[in-house]
Amino acid sequence: MQHLYEIDVRVPMRDGVALAANVWHRAEGEAPTLLVRLPYGKDVMGFGQSAFPDLLALVEAGYAVVVQDCRGTYRSEGEFVPHMADRADGEDTVAWIADQPWSDGTVGMFGPSYLGMVQWEAAVTGAPALKAIAPALTSIDNYEAPWFSAGGALSLSLVTLWNVMMYAADAQRSLAAGGGSVGQVQQLGQALLSAESLNDVLPTAEVPVLAAYGKWWDDWMAHPSHDEYWDAMELTPELKNVTAPALNIGGWYDLYIGQTIRTYTAARRQAGSAHAREGQRLVIGPWDHMSTSGVFPDRSFGPLASAQMMGLTGLHVKFFDRWLRGDSTALDDVAPVKLFVMGIDQWRDEQEWPLPDTQWTDYHLSSAGHANTADGDGALTTEPPTGDEHDTYLYDPRRPVPSAGGASMPTTPGFCGPVDQRTVAGREDVLCFATPVLDEAVEVTGPVSLTLFVSSSAVDTDFTAKLVDVFPDGKAINLCDGILRARYRGGLATEELMEPGTVHEITVDMTATSNVFLPGHRIRVDVSSSNFPRYDRNTNTGGVIAHESEEQMIPAVNHIHHGPNHPSRLVLPVIDRKDQQ
C-alpha cells in the first residue's frame, strides 16, 4: 500500500495560531489516525525514548500518523507555556484530523512523558473523535509528578534540567526569528551541558540562568504547595469527561510511577463512560524514564524484561485495533494488568490493581537505639517490639545524603534505577532496619508506605524512606522510595510546622513495586532526611526553601521513635503465591 509523507502541514487552532505537523497517510482511502503531540521537535520524534512504539509498524498496520509540534515549539506558531494551551490545542487538532479526507474520523494518541500529559489534556475535553489513548510514563497531576514529589519536595534535578533544556530551545527559536541574543543562547547551551552543577546553586529560585529567563520558572518557585496554581493543571476532577480507554504504561524506576498507577485506578472508577472505565489497561516493566531495556549497571532483569521482548508495539496495535477499528477480539489475550515481577524476573498477568489477594503486612521498626548505617542494630519484624526506643541522626543540609538510584531522570550513571545502596548506607545519617535472612520467598507487589513517629529539633525537616532488597553477598538494591516534607504531613495544600521535640505521626508514600525477596535475601527499609539532588534540601528553618541561602541552613537532630507507644512500621503488600515462584 502506498503512503504519502507530508512535512510541516499547518493545523489551525481556534485562536488563529497554526501548529506544524508531519503526516503519514494512505495515498488513497481513509484510515484511523494516531496523533503524537510533543514540545521536543517532531522531526526527531522518538529519538532517545524507547517507550515509543515503532512508528513505521503502526503505519504498516494501516494507521495514518500525525506528529505535531506543541504551541510555541520548533515549527509551530505561538508561545510555549507548559500545559497552558494543550487542552484546547489537543481538542482542535483531533477535530482537524477527523475532518481530513485521509481520516476515517477516528483518532488515537500515544507517547511518553509530556507526550502522555497532552493525551490526558485532550481526553478530558471529551473530544468525540478521540477513541483511545496510550499514555506512557506520565501524570495527570503536574505537581505530584514530575515537578514536585507526592510529599512536597521539589524534584530538583529534573526541574533544573528540563527547564534549561526548554529555555535553550526557546532562546534558539527567538534568535532564529530575529529576537533574543547570541549570548543568551550560549549561556543556556552551556548550562544544559553542565546541568548537574545547577543543583548546587542557592537559593534555588535564583539560579541565574533560569531566573534570568523567568517565564514559568518564577511561577513554579512561587508555588511550593499544591495550591490553586497547580489545581488548575490537575486533571483528576475532570476524568468524568473522559470517554477514551487508556493503555497506561509505566516503569518501576520511572519518575512518574506513582502517578501512572494512580491515574489507572482513578480512571477505572471515574472515567465518563463504561467502556472508558472497563477499557483501561496497565503495563509496568522494570524500566526508567528513558530506557525500556531492563538492563542497569547494578542489576539486569534478564532477556524478557525489555519492551521489545514483551511486544510493546504489538500491544499498541491491538489496543488501537480494538478501540479505533472496533475489533472486539483484538484484546482477548491481553489482561487488564501486566506486571514485571522483579526477583523472579518474569512477566505476569493480573485482573486488578491492587491485587485482590494482597495481604497488607506490618513490618515493625525496632532497635536498641543504634540503627545508624547498614551495620547498626535496626531490625524489621512482623512481631511488634515490646519496648519503646528511638534512633537519632543529624541531618545537615550542607552534607545531604547523595541520590543513589531510584525513580528519577537518568542524567548520570548510578543516579537512576536499581543501584547498590552500599554507596550511601554506611553514613551515620542513614538508619537501616532489616529482617533476618529469609528462609522462604516473600513477594511484595503493590503500594508501599512507611508510617513513622518522628520528632526533631527543627520546625520543619524531611523524612525519606527506601525499600531495599539485600542480596546474600551484601549487595543492596533499591526498589521504591519516597520523601515527606514534614510541613505537608497534613496535606500538600497547607503547611503546618512542627513543634520541636514533639512526636508526630507521619506516613511516607513510597509509591509501589513488584519484587520477590528470595530465600537468603533480607528486606530492608532505609530512613533519612535527604535524597540530593533528586530532591531539594530542606533548610530546616520553616521558611520558603527555594529562596534560602546556604548561610540560612541549620542542622536538624531527628529522631525515629518505635515500640508499643510509637508503632513505626513498614506496610508491605504481601502476595502468597509460592506455587508461582
Q: Please check whether residue 345 lies inside any domain of the structure.
A: yes
Judge if 450 and 521 occupy the same domain: yes
Cell 525496632, located at residue: 366
- Residues written for the chain: 581
Maximal CA-CA distance, the chain: 78
Judge if 171 and 282 occupy the same domain: no
d(CA 19, CA 11): 5
- Here the cell at position 534 is 533528586
Judge if 480 and 410 occupy the same domain: yes
pLDDT in tens, the chain (581 residues): 788 999 999 999 999 999 999 999 999 999 999 999 999 999 986 555 678 999 999 999 999 999 999 999 999 999 999 999 999 999 999 999 999 999 999 999 999 999 999 999 999 999 999 999 999 999 999 999 999 999 999 999 999 999 999 999 999 999 999 988 899 999 999 999 999 999 999 999 999 999 999 889 999 999 999 999 999 999 999 999 999 999 999 999 999 999 999 999 999 999 999 999 999 999 999 999 999 999 999 999 999 999 999 999 999 999 999 999 999 999 999 999 999 999 999 999 999 999 999 999 999 999 999 999 999 999 999 999 999 999 999 999 999 999 999 999 887 667 899 999 998 999 999 999 999 999 999 999 999 999 999 999 999 999 999 999 999 999 999 999 999 999 999 999 999 999 999 999 999 999 999 999 999 999 999 999 999 999 999 999 999 999 999 999 999 999 999 999 999 999 999 999 876 55
d(CA 529, CA 555): 11
Judge if 336 and 395 occupy the same domain: no
Rounded to 5 degrees, what are φ and ψ at 475? Answer: -60, 135
DSSP 8-state assignment for residue 152: S
| E strands, 401-459, in order | 431-434, 442-456
Count up the domains in the chain and report the number.
3
Judge if 129 and 237 occupy the same domain: yes
Judge if 331 and 381 occupy the same domain: no
Helices (H), 99-206: 114-123, 156-176, 182-193
Q: Please check whether residue 479 lies inside any domain of the structure.
A: yes
Judge if 455 and 336 occupy the same domain: no
d(CA 384, CA 133): 46
d(CA 466, CA 478): 7
Judge if 494 and 565 occupy the same domain: yes
Task: Please say which residue of 165, 195, 223 terminates a domain.
Answer: 223
pLDDT for res 49: 61
d(CA 339, CA 252): 10
CATH code for position 402:
2.60.120.260
Nearest to 134 by CA among 249, 38, 56: 249
Bridge pairing between strands 31-38 and 103-112: parallel
d(CA 59, CA 31): 10
Q: Please check whether residue 514 lies inside any domain of the structure.
A: yes
- Here the cell at position 30 is 481513509
- Residue 34 and residue 64 in contact, taking contact as beta carbons nearer than 8 Å: yes
Q: Please check whether residue 35 lies inside any domain of the structure.
A: yes
Q: How far is CA 104 from the centre of its chain?
A: 35
Q: 3-state SS string over 490-516?
A: CCCCCCCCCCCCCCEEEEEEEEEEEEE
DSSP 8-state assignment for residue 246: B
Task: Please say which residue of 199, 223, 247 terminates a domain.
Answer: 223
Judge if 178 and 289 occupy the same domain: no
d(CA 512, CA 3): 43
d(CA 513, CA 480): 6
Instruction: Say if residue 213 is exposed, middle or buried (CB neighbours under 10 Å; 0-12, 13-18, 19+).
Output: buried
CATH code for position 137:
3.40.50.1820
Task: Please say which residue of 171, 194, 223 terminates a domain.
Answer: 223
- Residue 254 and residue 283 in contact, taking contact as beta carbons nearer than 8 Å: no
- Residue 94 and residue 32 in contact, taking contact as beta carbons nearer than 8 Å: no
pLDDT for res 413: 65
DSSP 8-state assignment for residue 279: T
Instruction: Say if residue 346 is exposed, middle or buried (CB neighbours under 10 Å; 0-12, 13-18, 19+).
Output: middle
Q: Please check whether residue 150 lies inside any domain of the structure.
A: no
d(CA 142, CA 149): 10
Judge if 215 and 271 occupy the same domain: no
131 Cβ partners below 8 Å, 6+ apart?
32, 106, 107, 108, 244, 323, 324
d(CA 13, CA 91): 9
Q: Please check whether residue 569 lies inside any domain of the structure.
A: yes
Q: Please check whether residue 149 lies inside any domain of the structure.
A: no
Judge if 310 and 432 occupy the same domain: no
96: domain range?
3-144+231-350
Instruction: Say if residue 103 is exposed, middle or buried (CB neighbours under 10 Å; 0-12, 13-18, 19+).
Output: buried
33 Cβ partners below 8 Å, 6+ apart?
25, 63, 64, 65, 66, 97, 100, 102, 103, 104, 106, 107, 108
pLDDT for res 428: 98
pLDDT for res 46: 58
d(CA 33, CA 48): 24
Q: What amino acid positions are annotated as catalytic residues?
A: 113, 254, 289
Whether the bond between 146 and the residue before it is cis, its omega within 30 degrees of 0, is: yes
- Here the cell at position 328 is 472486539
- Residue 146 and residue 139 in contact, taking contact as beta carbons nearer than 8 Å: yes
Judge if 85 and 192 occupy the same domain: no
d(CA 26, CA 33): 11
- Residue 492 and residue 226 in contact, taking contact as beta carbons nearer than 8 Å: yes
Q: How far is CA 208 from the centre of its chain?
A: 27
